Every structure is written in structure tokens, then in C-alpha cells.
Amino acid sequence: MHPHLFTPLHLRPFTLKNRVVMGSMHTGLEEREDWAALTRFYRARAEGGAALIITGGIAPNPEGAVFQGAAELTDANLSHHRHLTDTVHQHGARIVLQILHAGRYAFSPHCVAPSPLKSPISPFPPKELTEETIAKQIADIASTAQRAISAGYDGVELMGSEGYLINQFLAPRTNRRTDRWGQDRRLFAREVTKATRDAIGPNLLIFRISLIDLVDQGQTWEDTAALAQELSPLVDIFNSGIGWHEARVPTIAQNVPRAAFAPLTARLKALTDRPVIAVNRIPDPATAEAILAAKQADLIGLARPLLADPDWVNKAQNGQNITPCIACNQACLDHTFEGKAATCLTNPAAGREAEFEAPPAPAKTVAIIGAGAAGLACALTAAKRGHKVTLFEAAAQIGGQMRLAAKVPGKEEFQTLLAYYEAEARHPNITLRLNTRAGTADLAGFDAVVIATGVRPRKTALPGPDYQQALNGAPLGPRVAIIGAGGIGFDVAAFLLGHEDFATEWGLGDPAVSAGGLQTPRPMKPSREIWLLQRSKGKPGKGLGKTTGWIHRAHLAAHGVTMLGGVDYSHFDDQGLHVLQDGQPLVIPATDLVICAGQEAVADLPGPRIGGARDAAGIDAKRAIEEGTRMGLAL
């Protein structure tokens, strides 16, 4: 299967056994110095078949650390790195250390940059680097690279994209210097790469090059092409970098089409004889194989998909069902930004593999009521351990609320998760009883019972379809007020707006046409007028995901959705919805209401509960799957 994906690639220092590179991801275990968990994490991905692993970003010095105290490679922790690299090598993979100097993105008062310009996503203005301190940054990067080789790494990746220090030197947006480092904006990248090559000798050197900055005054394609040509003699592989962190165009979220940026990698490939890695939104083997077959890239970078399934590569080779990454960011990047260790919504064991080890179980008979996310996760975990599971589901299909999520434009990846569960539910230890609303009598005789009956929409005094009815196609007029502005209110608003072209909506252009690759966003004219309302004061959407909330808010704002907080509902009549907003009477001329006012637990049967049936407040797929998995392990 997938012949291109499984063709070895011969490089100068060694041969990669296949075309899958695990992209750099910060797990948070680095700073906790949980070496056992970190080593276990990388070991699982090596065992799972990845040819090459790139570590999470490691700072070359304190001023370059993404936040104060972010991981560095020091003489003190070198032996732990050595154990980690030995372990990865024993399990058949190569591993390189990513060196990441954050420049002005460092969340610290000690941050440095080519010019003293504060980034819009950081409160800290950077100190302008001097000739002397530039030399220090280069020396620190090179000495970290040298130490990486002493720690057993097969090489290093230089983070030259995503708006970090090297990229800051490259773009006019952040490099306003008039000295040689500004007159020749590529000089820093060249000097860092040369010094790194000198430090690591013939070991592997990857440069992550920004193919599209997606910010004003970013690089042109001409700049990128010149850099690629200058660096080609120095590097072994180019990795693709897409968009700065401060960019206002989504680059990895669910609404980004699969393989959206592969054409840019193909353009890079045409410029260099070095192998190139395609990245971002390549979740499945078919997409990866197609990119390689079309010669758009030589290697495929998978980051989040290898959180979701460490065995992605081996499973792709054997045609097995892969636990999908649905690009939600909820348990990986959102956790990182909340200062928590990264894990995965679809695979709660990610980063805590030892905690979720599944010992074989003495085969009990287990009844699980409800085949939504929690019930399914519980059933699969229990069945794989050896229990005999009967999974009752009142509906004609499994999936529960995930089926509704899959209907929302930009959330179609939930369909992939449903397909995964549908295939896994065929496990020989699972008997699936669809169209069966289990009663107490059905549960007699089982060794264990688990209630995963989920939630029902909360009713309010206001009339109108609830979110389930709306997402299932309840007819609605031209002006809709949505009561409740949680995640589901936002989803319903997006559903009512409908599908549209990603590049046109977000202004994704071509760096060969405009610097930074931006074009004027042209969101489609909305077919409906929508209001999204909440009683709490403040702007709706504060509780949305750290890394994706801005996308949902910007999407609705671009289509003229009025988002109001501090709303006191009165009544709904022919004129519309009568409210007090911040104490002032207001009539919202809505023709229809949709009620998205949260949920209540459905827990009519006795027994231990998981997911929404246990606690409806704040239930989402992340908590449901984790609770289901933990219950499956505890049975």
C-alpha cells in the first residue's frame, strides 16, 4: 500500500526507511523534566514507524526561549537526551533536535529581535540586537547544535519560519535595520546555517523555511527562492514553514483544506536539489501518498496526526484503521498555550502513554448505554482489553453529538472520526445494538454497566428549534437570533452561514504576487442576518479554544453576525426578539430563534456515568473520549 510513502530516501548521512517525518511539537514534558514520559512518547512514535523524528523546539539560550524557563539542552540534562536518542534509535527511527530561537515571540522581558518592534501577540517589546549580541545568538545556536550531536541526535532542524528569530531577520516587517543585517536580510539565516553546519559536520541539517509568511510586509517569493538557493549547499533537507504565529489566516485549523499548502512546497522543490518536506493538514495516508506521487514533496511532515496515532505509519503500511487527528487543537496546542502538557482529543494517551497502558482484562460482560463519543471510547478500550461489550444505542447510527458537529462547515473532520469509530465498532468483542433504547431489564445479567447516554438541549422560556433541530435542517427565515453564544451557538451560526471557499474568505494569496502571500479577503455575502446572544457581559466567544477561538469570532464578524453580550431576554413576537441590552430596550428584528442554551444530562438509568451523562456542563468530545477511555481501563 502507498508505494511512494514507503520508498526509502537516501540522504548524505544515512537512509530514511520511509517518507514520514514527525514534525516538531512542544509537549510540555520538556519543562516538567519528565524524561520518562518524554522518552516513552518518542519511543511510541519510533515503534510506530516514523522514519525521522524532529523534537519540540529547544531554546539555544534564555533570551531565545519561547517563555521563561522553556527547555534548553544543557550539560546538566545531556544524559537524559542521550537516553532518549538511544531509545529512539533502538526502535528504528532517526531523531533530530529542533533549535528554536523565538526572537520577539519570546514571552519574556528579555526577548531580543532584529528591530525593537513589539509583536501583536506579545506584551514584551524586544531589545534590538547589536553586532555583538547577534554574534552571540549565532554562537549559541551553533553550540546547541554541537551539543545535540554529543547527545546522540542525528542532526538538528533550524526553525527559520513561523515568525521566529530567523524569520524576523528575513522579513521587512520585523527587520528595519540599516546595517549589514538589514541591507542583506538573508545574512543572519546564512550565518546561522553556516555556523550550524560547521558545528555538526556531516550530520543531518534541516532548515525550516517560510514559504508564505501571511503577514503584511512579509517576504516575497523572490526572497524565499533566493534564500533556498543560497542555503541549498549547506542543508540536507528543507522543511516547509507556513504562516507566522501572528498571521490572521488559519494555517492548521480544521477549516484549512487538506494539503492546502503542498503547491508551495512543490514550488520550493523546483528550486533546489535538496529533499523537501510538505506539512500542514496532511492527516491521512491517501493525502500523503498523493502529494508524493505528484512529486510535490519528497517527505511528509506529520505532527498532530502522530499525537493522535503513534502507529500511523505502520498502520498506513498495513492498511489498518488509523485514529484520526481532526485538527481541533483542543488538547494539543490549546493545552500548550494554557501551560498544560499536550495530549490529544482522539487519543488521550498521547504524552501520558504509561498512564493509559491497557492491561488485558478477565473477560467481563459489559453493557454500555449510548454510542456517542464517551460510550464509543469506553467500548473500544474495554473490548481491546478482552471484555465482551454490548453497546446499546437508541439512534440508528453511532456517533451522538459528533454527527451534529460534522455538519458544521469547517468541522467536516468529525466525519473522519465517525468513520474511524464505525470501523472500530466492528471489533469482535463488541455487539452493537442500534435502534435500541435500553431499559433496566436489558441490563440484568451483565457483570458491569456504564451509562453514556449523553445530553439533551436545555430548554428556555423562549420558543424556537434547539441546536439539534437546527443542525438537522429545521426551516429558518432570513433573520435568526441565536440564544446562547457558547461553542454550539458559534457552530450553529457557522452552519447557517454555509460553506465557502477558504482562500477567498481568508485572503490566502500567492507570495509571488504579493509580499507575505496575502490578498484582500472576500467573504461571501451572507444569505441571512444573524445575531448571537448571551446574557453574560462582555464579548461572546471568550470561552472558545485558545488557538481557534479567534478564527470562529473572525469568521462570524466577517459575515456581519452581530455578537452581543449583556442581553436580558424578554419575549419574542411578530416584531422580533425583545430584550434589554445593558439595561436598554432593544428589539432584534429576528424572524426565528434557535436555542443553544447549553445542555442537561440524560441519566435515566442507574449505574456509573461517563461524559455528558455524568456532567453536562462544558461537555465536549475531549472530555467524553477521555472519560470513556479511563472507564474502559478501569473495568
Catalytic residue positions, numbered:
164
Does residue 307 belong to the site contacting ligand SF4 (CB under 6 A)?
yes
The candidate with the shortest Cα–Cα distance to 163, out of 132, 194, 96, 118, is 118
Instruction: Specify whether the CB–CB gap between 262 and 296 falls below 8 A.
Output: yes
Residue linked to cell 442507574: 606
As a residue count, the chain comes to: 635
Does residue 345 belong to the site contacting ligand SF4 (CB under 6 A)?
yes
List the beta strands (DSSP E) in 447-582.
448-451, 455-457, 479-483, 529-533, 562-564, 567-573, 576-581
Rounded to whole angstroms, how far apart are CA atoms 238 and 219? 17
x/- string (CB under 6 A) for ligand NAP, residues 391-420? ------------------------------
**Edge-to-edge strand ranges of the sheet holding 592-595:** 562-564, 529-533, 479-483, 592-595
Region from 188-196, 232-240, 306-314, 590-598 binding ligand NAP, contact rule CB under 6 A:
590-598
Nearer to ligand SF4, 227 or 252 (CB): 252
Site for ligand NAP in 104-143 (CB under 6 A): none
> How far apart, in Å, are the Cα atoms of 114 and each of 185, 262, 391?
10, 30, 60
Among ligand NAP, ligand SF4, none, partner that 329 touches (CB below 5 to 8 angstroms by kind): ligand SF4
Residue 167, number of CB atoms within 10 A of its CB: 28
Nearer to ligand NAP, 118 or 340 (CB): 340
Instruction: Specify whether the CB–CB gap between 228 and 271 falls below 8 A.
Output: yes
Q: How far is the CB of 381 from ligand SF4 (least distance, A)?
A: 17
Q: Which residues of 295-305 are buried (b: 16+ CB within 10 A; e: fewer)?
A: ebbbbbbbbbb
Does residue 329 belong to the site contacting ligand SF4 (CB under 6 A)?
yes
Nearer to ligand SF4, 22 or 438 (CB): 22
What is the DSSP annotation of 267-301?
HHHTT-SS-EEE-SS--SHHHHHHHHHTTS-SEEE
x/- string (CB under 6 A) for ligand SF4, residues 437-466? ------------------------------
Region from 145-153, 245-253, 502-510, 536-544 binding ligand NAP, contact rule CB under 6 A:
536-544
Number of residues that bind ligand NAP (CB under 6 A): 24
Q: What is the DSSP letter of 380?
A: H
Does residue 344 belong to the site contacting ligand SF4 (CB under 6 A)?
yes
Rounded to whole angstroms, how far apart are CA atoms 233 and 119? 33
Among ligand SF4, ligand NAP, none, partner that 201 touches (CB below 5 to 8 angstroms by kind): none
Nearer to ligand SF4, 152 or 324 (CB): 324
Instruction: Specify whether the CB–CB gap between 459 and 598 falls below 8 A.
Output: no
Task: Give the relative orientation of helices 78-90 and 35-47 as an angle to the nearest 10 degrees.
Answer: 20
**Which of 43, 197, 304, 614 is the binder for ligand SF4 (CB under 6 A)?**
304
Among ligand NAP, ligand SF4, none, partner that 304 touches (CB below 5 to 8 angstroms by kind): ligand SF4
Nearer to ligand NAP, 191 or 334 (CB): 334
Does residue 534 belong to the site contacting ligand NAP (CB under 6 A)?
yes
Among ligand NAP, ligand SF4, none, partner that 327 touches (CB below 5 to 8 angstroms by kind): ligand SF4
Return the C-alpha cell found at 611: 461524559
Site for ligand NAP in 330-359 (CB under 6 A): 330
Q: Phi and psi dihedrals of 491, rounded to 5?
A: -65, -45
Q: How far is the CB of 597 from ligand SF4 (least distance, A)?
A: 26
Region from 4-12, 168-176, 539-547, 579-587 binding ligand NAP, contact rule CB under 6 A:
539-547
**Which of 597, 605, 625, 631 is the binder for ligand NAP (CB under 6 A)?**
597
Does residue 483 belong to the site contacting ligand NAP (CB under 6 A)?
yes
Q: How far is the CB of 332 from ligand SF4 (least distance, A)?
A: 3
Cα torsion 56, 60, 61, 65 to 10°: value is: -30
**Which of 298, 466, 529, 620 is the binder for ligand NAP (CB under 6 A)?**
620
Does residue 599 belong to the site contacting ligand NAP (CB under 6 A)?
yes
Q: How far is the CB of 341 from ligand NAP (least distance, A)?
A: 19
Q: How far is the CB of 622 from ligand SF4 (least distance, A)?
A: 7
Instruction: Specify whether the CB–CB gap between 398 and 422 falls below 8 A.
Output: yes
User: In the 3-class helix/strand/coil scheme, how is 56-108 assigned residue by residue?
Assistant: EEEECCHHHCCECCCCECCCCCHHHHHHHHHHHHHCCCEEEEEECCCHHHCEC
Rounded to whole angstroms, how far apart are CA atoms 287 and 316? 12
Does residue 545 belong to the site contacting ligand NAP (CB under 6 A)?
yes
Region from 342-350, 451-459, 516-524, 591-599 binding ligand SF4, contact rule CB under 6 A:
342-350
Q: Using CB atoms within 10 A of its CB, is residue 571 exposed (0-12), middle (13-18) or buried (19+)?
A: exposed
Q: How far is the CB of 321 from ligand SF4 (least distance, A)?
A: 15
Region from 35-43, 110-118, 327-335, 546-554 binding ligand SF4, contact rule CB under 6 A:
327-335
Rounded to whole angstroms, how far apart are CA atoms 203 and 234? 11
Q: Using CB atoms within 10 A of its CB, is residue 178 exposed (0-12), middle (13-18) or buried (19+)?
A: exposed
What is the DSSP annotation of 150-175?
HTT-SEEEEEE-TTSHHHHHHSTTT-
Among ligand NAP, ligand SF4, none, partner that 332 touches (CB below 5 to 8 angstroms by kind): ligand SF4
Q: How far is the CB of 457 from ligand NAP (least distance, A)?
A: 8
Task: Give the relative orientation of helices 221-231 and 187-200 as an angle to the nearest 10 degrees.
Answer: 30
Does residue 489 belong to the site contacting ligand NAP (CB under 6 A)?
yes
Residues at the site binding ligand SF4, with contacts judged by CB under 6 A: 304, 307-308, 325-332, 344-346
The residues that touch ligand NAP, with contacts defined as CB under 6 A, are: 330, 458, 460, 483-489, 491, 534-536, 543-545, 596-599, 618-620
